[in-house]
Structures are given as structure tokens and as C-alpha cells.
Amino acid sequence: MKPNRKDTKSVDLAKDTVSGTNQFLTTDQGVKINDDGNSLKAGERGATLLEDFILREKITHFDHERIPERIVHVRGSAAHGVFELYEDLSRYTKAGIFTDTTRKTPVFVRFSTVAGSKGSPDLARDIRGFAVKFYTEEGIFDLVGNNTPVFFIQDAMKFPDLIHSVKPEPDKEIPQAASAHDTFYDFITLTTECLHNHMWAMSDRAIPRSLRMMEGFGIHTFRLVSSKGKSHFVKFHWKPKLGVHSVTWEEAVKINGADADFHRRDLWDAIESGSFPEWEFGLQIIPEEDEFKYDFDLLDPTKLVPEELVPVKIIGKMTLNRNPDNFFSETEQVAFHPGHIVPGIDFSNDPLLQGRLFSYTDTQLSRLGSPNFHEIPINRPINPVNNNQRDAHMRMAIDKGNAAYFPNTIGGGCPHLAKMEEGGFHSYEERIDAKKVRDRSSSFSDHFSQPALLYRSLHDWEKSHLIDAYIFELGKCNYGTIKERMVWLLAQIDKELANKVAIGLGIKVPKAIERPVNQNIGADADPKKHEPGAAKNYLEKSEALSQEHLHSDTVATRKIAVLASDGFHMKSFDKMKKYLEKNNAVVVLVGTHGGELTCDEGMQHPVGQALVTTESVLFDALYVPGGKSSIDTLKTQGKVFKFINESVKYCKAIAFDGEAEELLELSAARDFREDKAIFLNGTPAHFAKAIAQHRNWEREEKAKNIPV
């Protein structure tokens, strides 16, 4: 007999759990929590304390929520490479990786999306992880960053909340790998420190053209420590040699359907072909005495240091030159940790960084199953490991001797301690004289100035894309109050931005809203101390924040589709192909059928992709050679015009030769004859120059209504 569900106590209890209105937040042990927004620190700007049982419980539970996937950064792609130093920085640090210009330091780099599962598509709108493992002669140094210079939150205490909000909603596990839903925007609008990185996520940076065309950032402020004990603050930057480029949201949606592995395949193919991705490594170095020089707090991970205030000093280059041999053994089992540092590098009191120093070890214990994860080949340092750690699950080392303790005489006193001059790690001796508090500094409370700087710095086409992203994302939310809160917050950043988003949503910008009590401060804290102030303008624009200023002049690794059928004009095709390939572009013959095409000189040419098996969004540019027979066939194929029209709509470079003019006239390209990136019988050099600019965004407004 089935139970009467209306009368079951378990259902009533579940209902109470969901809809209770008088419930205090507690620990798993039932202790009521006074402050769930701040870790326990030695002073407002001090280091996080290990005794913070609330932080440790919260992070530990969060770290163990998924088996066996990572909880965040699940879907990844990786490669081996090498780092080379341009300049000796011994005046700033004793780290050999930054002082010895003769070294070639092996690296392993993993790129990833944050929110989706292992099977999610590559081109979700998302922040991208950019983690680099340096196998230095002094030990492992992990620089675990993202493709944005800031993060969503200021204190590690809020990390589980952030990820719970952006992950698929737990009642229906929808949406996958997407932030366009109520729980995320509910959290964002109640946690205004998130607004800066959220704007980065709504920008084109969140849908990169290629992993090889992303910047990388260490996000946190670290320290460089010299052999004399002198400390400088430092922020780490990766600058791609190919420039910084993205795709439009419409393209991303189509690419995910056409090739969900687009980024993974792109990285793999580039390395296999010998077109090794390169990034230059740069540092923003700030003397410790300048810690309080700026209108923002260096310890706040939601703030960047504009390059106009502190230039990025380029000190080296990283080249990725080898694909993994086994995806699981390397890409899946690699364990990064921001606490893996070497002498000459040290931490700041950034409260997000401080929490990560605990979290990353804890999560590896769950994901890789043992404290011996360092023995997995991809995680092993290249220098010898000697200590008294023993046993535990999956121990690989066969330790000899009977003295697994220190100090000892039975083992000859080994392994013994290393002095600083012998490379022994010595933490920077920072003075701490503060009360033990669960709070954060009021200098972290400026939540609007840097998002406003970012918006002002974007080019018009970038602003347009960002506005469309906000409209799309908020349009997926069902709660009107959440939409209104978000639009009101945007108005505190930029009124033009808020007005355009509101128009797209069909609502008005509220003049005022009833803001909920700030739950990210303690229940007894003074709300005025942490109330975000009005946006300040300490810098009008920063060119480094706009992709308009971050392109390169090379067509290397760019993929150009050549639309053709039997009878295409050999001479024009051969001239274009040779020029592009000489400049390391990838030319793909897209035929009306598979196998081979016969040109007008009777030669056979292998088809790279049949028209039916590929899409224009997978290419950077389009070329159509002449040849009457070829054009007569192409103009009967509906997908040919889809190919051309999409290329026009998404502002790509297009070249037509000879009889291909007929396709120009029959397609959307006819309305763009004067466009600087659409050519009829143009030279290969001019076509290549247009490809190198990535897109002609001047075309976008006129082309946006082209049906495809």
C-alpha cells in the first residue's frame, strides 16, 4: 500500500527546510553564525587565521561536494611547454625562475571553464581558468589564475555561495554551464562586490575566440622577496602573442552546436601543426611603501591595478609545444595550488587568497583520493623530494630506513634543514599587531568605481555586446525584483548602460529600490561602514581593458575557408593559398562534396571539409575563388549563401575573385561593397591584413539584421 504523501512527516520536514521563515544560519554542529561574509583575520587587513572553524567547515564541505570531477574548472584543456626569462630580477626576488636567464623551465598549463560540467561545451559564456605549473629547480610554483584580472568575491568565505548560485539550480539541474538564471542574479545583486568581475563575464572576454588568444592573470597581489629580505607587491600577467580576440554570442551558440570541442580542438591542432602558442609574462611591481598610495586596496581581489598607474614589465615568454600523451593522467589529474610557491615568492593578506591556501589542498584530498597526489607523474617536481611524510592511500615512493621523524641521529640527521642561503624557504617577516576580528576593511567597500572604469574603457562595439549580454542574461530571470535590483546597480556604475539594458528588458530604471539588509557583514556589524559609495573617477580610461587595443598584426593559425566546387580557378586560388600559408595561416578547402575537387587546370585537390559537414562560424575568414563552373554549382547551394551571409554578419574578412562576383551580388555582401574587409579581386596582402584585425566591427550595426 502506497503511503499518503500528504500525511508523511518526511514531506512536511522537507517543506519546512525549503520555506522556513525563522531559521538562523548555523554551522553543521548547530552553532548560530554571526557573520557569514568574512573569515577570521588578524586585523581587518590581516592574514586569515587557521582557527576559523566556520570557514574551514564551510570550505571543507564545499570542496567535497563532487566525486570525482572538480567542483569548478571541470572542463579543461592542457599542454606542456617551457618558460624562458628575459631579464634577471634579483633586485626584487631570489626566486631562481625570475633570476636565472639561462634556464628553460618546464611548464604545464591547464585552461578551463568554471561553471559547467565535464561534458559542457567549450564556448559557454564563462570566466576561463588559466593555471600554470612551473617545474622549477627549487620546487613547484603554481600560478593559478583566470582570464580576468579580478574575481567575483573578496573573501573566501563567500566562495561556496558564489558557486552554488551559478551552478545549475538544484531542484532541476538547469541551466548547464550558464549564468543566465535567477539564483545567480539573486546572489550577484545582493553581493555588490561581485559587480566588477561580473561585468568582465558579460563582456566579450567571456567568449574567447581561442584559448591561445586569451590574457591570463594571477588576480591576487603576491609578494616578491629579495635575498636581502626586501618585499615588493606583485601582480602577474600573461600577454598572448596572437592578441586578445573573442567571438560574438550568436557565433558561440552556433559553434557549440557545430563543434562543442572547438577550443580544445583548436589548441590541440595548433600544437600538433607546430604553431606553438606563446605568451609573454609580465609583472606589475609595487614597492611595499606604496601599499596605500591608490584609490583602491591592493589586497582586494575584486580590484585591478590599471596599467596606466603601474605598467606591466615584460620579463619572459612561455611557449606551449607539446600536447599531453594521456588526457586523464595529465589534464585530469594535474593538481594546482596557489600555496605551491618557492623561495622569493610569498603571499599577501588578500582574504580570498588566504582561504584558497586551505581550500586547494582539501579539494585534492577528495578529488585525487590521497595526500600522495604529489606523486602522480604530472604533479611531481623535477628536484628531489625528501621528508618524513609516510604511507597513506596510493603511496608510490618506497622509503628506506627506520627514522621517519626529525630530529634524529639514527638516520644521520637526514633529511636536515636548509639555511636561507641554501635555498630554505623563509616566510616574509610581516609585522602583525592587530585584534582578532571577523570583519573586512572599509577600504574594500568601493564596488562601483572599477566597473565604471571598465565600461568607459570599452570600445563602442564592446559596449554594445556587453549591453546585449546583460539583456539576454536578465531576460532569462523570472523574478522582476531581481531584474530591477540589477538595473538599479548598473545605474550606479553608468546611467547609459542601465538605461539601454532597461529598454531591452522592457522596464524602467528604478529611482530607488528597497535594498535588503547586507547579509555579507556580521549581524552586529555597522552597515554604514561597508555601504558602497558612489563611483569615483580616478582614471578616465584604460586601453589595456579593451580588446580594440590588444590585437596583433599576424594571421598565424587563423583558419580561412575556401568555398569552391569543381572547375574553380587554379591561379587565383594558388596565389591566395601560398601567400596565406607562407604567413602561417590555415587554409581549408570547403567543397560542395567530399573527396577531391578538380580545378580548371585538371588537377585534383583534397577537400578539407565538405560543405555539409562544417559551418562558417568555425572559420576566421572566407575566400571564394573564381571559375565559372565552380560558381555555377555554388550558387545552387543554399548553404553557400548561409556561409557568406554569416561571414558578413559577424564582421569577418571576405574575398571574392573573378566570377565569384556573382555570389557577392546574390548575397548580403552586395550591400557592403565599400567595406574595408570585403574584397573583389583584391590582393592577398590586403586580405591578410584584414584577417589580422580579427573583425571589422564598423560593419556590425548595419549587418546585424542579416537573416542567417
Whole-angstrom CA distances from 459 to 77, 544, 649 are 30, 11, 19
For 276, the 3-state DSSP assignment is coil
Spatial distance between the Cα atoms of 392 and 399, rounded to a whole number of angstroms: 13
Sign of CA dihedral 649, 650, 652, 656: negative
Whole-angstrom CA distances from 672 to 107, 247, 616, 695 are 46, 21, 18, 14
- Is 4 marked active-site? no
**In the chain, ranges of CATH 1.20.1370.20 domains:** 447-548
Which residue among 4, 61, 64, 73 is the active-site one? 73
Lowest mean pLDDT of 338-347, 408-417, 493-502, name the range.
Answer: 408-417
Spatial distance between the Cα atoms of 596 and 615, rounded to a whole number of angstroms: 19
Residues 6+ apart with CB under 8 A from 22: none
**In the chain, ranges of CATH 3.40.50.880 domains:** 553-703
Burial 625-654 (b: 16+ CB within 10 A, else e): bbbebbbebbbeeebbbbbbbbbbbbbbbb
Which residue among 34, 61, 80, 146 is the active-site one? 146
pLDDT of 669 reads 97
CATH architecture for the domain at 49-187+205-379: Beta Barrel (2.40)
Spatial distance between the Cα atoms of 468 and 501, rounded to a whole number of angstroms: 8
Q: Do the bridges between strand 653-656 and strand 621-624 make them parallel or antiparallel, or are there none, so unpaired?
A: parallel
pLDDT tens, position by position, 539-588: 999 999 999 999 899 999 999 999 999 999 999 999 999 999 999 999 99
pLDDT of 2 reads 39
Q: How confident is the model at residue 55 (pLDDT cuts 50, 70, 90)?
A: confident
pLDDT tens, position by position, 633-678: 999 999 999 999 999 999 999 999 999 999 999 999 999 999 999 9
Better-scored residue on pLDDT, 2 or 373: 373
Q: How confident is the model at residue 500 (pLDDT cuts 50, 70, 90)?
A: very high
pLDDT at 465 over 80: yes
pLDDT at 18 over 60: no
**In the chain, ranges of CATH 2.40.180.10 domains:** 49-187+205-379
DSSP-derived secondary structure for 635-649: TT-HHHHHHHHHHHH
* CB-side neighbour CA atoms (13 Å) of 354: 25
CATH number, span 553-703: 3.40.50.880
- Is 73 marked active-site? yes
Residues 6+ apart with CB under 8 A from 179: 115, 125, 126, 166, 201, 473
Q: How confident is the model at residue 68 (pLDDT cuts 50, 70, 90)?
A: low
For 597, the 3-state DSSP assignment is strand
pLDDT of 394 reads 82
Q: How confident is the model at residue 66 (pLDDT cuts 50, 70, 90)?
A: low
Sequence length of the chain is 708
pLDDT at 9 over 50: no
pLDDT at 3 over 60: no
Q: At what angle do helices 449-457 and 480-493 cross, to 10 degrees?
A: 80
Residues 6+ apart with CB under 8 A from 639: 611, 612
Q: Do the bridges between strand 559-564 and strand 586-591 make them parallel or antiparallel, or are there none, so unpaired?
A: parallel
pLDDT, mean over the chain? 92
CATH architecture for the domain at 447-548: Up-down Bundle (1.20)
